[in-house]
Amino acid sequence: MRASLVGELRCPKDHLSWVLRFSRNGRLLASGGCDRRACIWEARTGRPIAMLVRRRLCGLRGVVSLEFLPNDNRVLTGLWNGEINLWESEAARRLLTFKHPTHVFRSLVFSIPGPLVALLGEGTSIVSASLDGEIWISSLEDGALIHKLRPIPPHILAVTAFPDGKTVALGSSHGVVYLVDVWDGQVNARLSFSGRPRAGGIASVCVATDRPFVGAGSTNGECCVWNWHTAAEVFRLGRNLGSVDSVALTPMGHLIAIGSVDGVVRVFEIESGGYELSFPSVDPNPRRLRGLKLPVAFSPDGNMLAVGCPDAVVRLYSLSYD
């Protein structure tokens, strides 16, 4: 497999990317950063589309989660302070703002408040989860609370939704990924590294839309992919990479991209475990990497990989097989 650099999308110089998302049709790409802004580009051409920013907010309230709605004309942002905003993607007009009550959990390993936001089904409701274990399902019409779940894992560090509109994967601080039905609270599966909990907190989770695969990265540098039907591991990386703060699966589930705090993005073929590609950080100063995320995202067709680099540039790579 080869990767060719096909685009460099420039962000404001103080925009360090925390999260990347493609729209569901692959037309748009968005980066949410520590500066409270979300930058949106046309993915194919790199043309800037919009910049979403919450002004008159002080302190550290960056964008910790980001989701496009199915038709790509609206986008959700979840801020550090618990605020959730719904925007028009291209007009940069804020349509709705509501708050998820949250509490900050701090330790020597992680320091990430909520909320973490995932879109359910066709985009009429969202699930938001915070570090204190609160899980809310809210309407996108008015932000009203539809349903609230009792805390399942005690501290939630990562969340992503399945395409079925009812299941979410919750990454916990004690090293277990919970697959939960958000409507009845049923825990359908508990996934842990080699069956053992406390392998470091789960810093990132992802799902493959076309295969029953769930991927996760931990704060102690491990990464794993499970077949959630059987709870069996199908890929495991036990290297000490530092915290794996971003993982992404292609929709077909054949590749996983791993972004870790050592400043390198790695791409693996899942079923063979083959080491395919690596992208070193372009920042020559390793001190800038300390504590920073290196977010990754695959396009919906799996042919493009976006990487948020610490020099305030999002780089796009085209993936092809020789």
CA distances 129 to 22, 173, 230, Å, are 21, 13, 26
pLDDT > 80? residue 151: no
- Among residues 202, 200, 127, 205, which one has the least CA distance to residue 172? 202
Burial class (CB in 10 A: 0-12, 13-18, 19+), 10: middle
Please write the tens of the pLDDT for every residue from 24-80: 999 999 999 888 899 999 999 999 999 998 765 555 568 888 999 988 899 999 887
Task: Report which of residues 103 and 282 the model is more confident about.
Answer: 282
Please write the tens of the pLDDT for every residue from 183-203: 888 999 999 887 555 557 898
Residue 151 φ then ψ, to 5°: -60, 130
Residues 307/314, Cβ–Cβ less than 8 Å: yes
Please write the tens of the pLDDT for every residue from 269-318: 998 877 667 766 555 455 555 556 789 999 999 999 999 988 889 999 99
pLDDT > 50? residue 109: no
Distance separating alpha carbons of residues 257 and 129, to the nearest angstrom? 24
Q: How much is the pLDDT for 252?
A: 93
Say which amino acid occupies 123: G
DSSP state of 261: T
Residues 135/146, Cβ–Cβ less than 8 Å: no
3-state SS class at 122 = coil
- Among residues 58, 95, 96, which one has the least CA distance to residue 80? 58
Residue 13: which pLDDT band, with cuts at 50, 70 and 90? confident
Overall pTM > 0.85? yes
Domain 2-320 in CATH 2.130.10.10? The answer is yes
Q: How much is the pLDDT for 213?
A: 96
Residue 111's beta-bridge partner residues?
106
Residues 245/266, Cβ–Cβ less than 8 Å: no
Residues 233/225, Cβ–Cβ less than 8 Å: yes
pLDDT > 90? residue 242: no
Distance separating alpha carbons of residues 301 and 23, to the nearest angstrom? 11
223-224-227 Cα angle (round to 5)? 165
CB atoms within 10 A of CB 57: 13
Residue 20: which pLDDT band, with cuts at 50, 70 and 90? very high
CA distances 102 to 46, 80, 131, Å, are 35, 9, 7
Task: Report which of residues 318 and 122 the model is more confident about.
Answer: 318
Distance separating alpha carbons of residues 5 and 288, to the nearest angstrom? 23
Write down the mean pLDDT value for the chain: 83
Burial class (CB in 10 A: 0-12, 13-18, 19+), 299: buried
Distance separating alpha carbons of residues 105 and 131, to the nearest angstrom? 6
pLDDT > 50? residue 107: no
29-34-36 Cα angle (round to 5)? 75
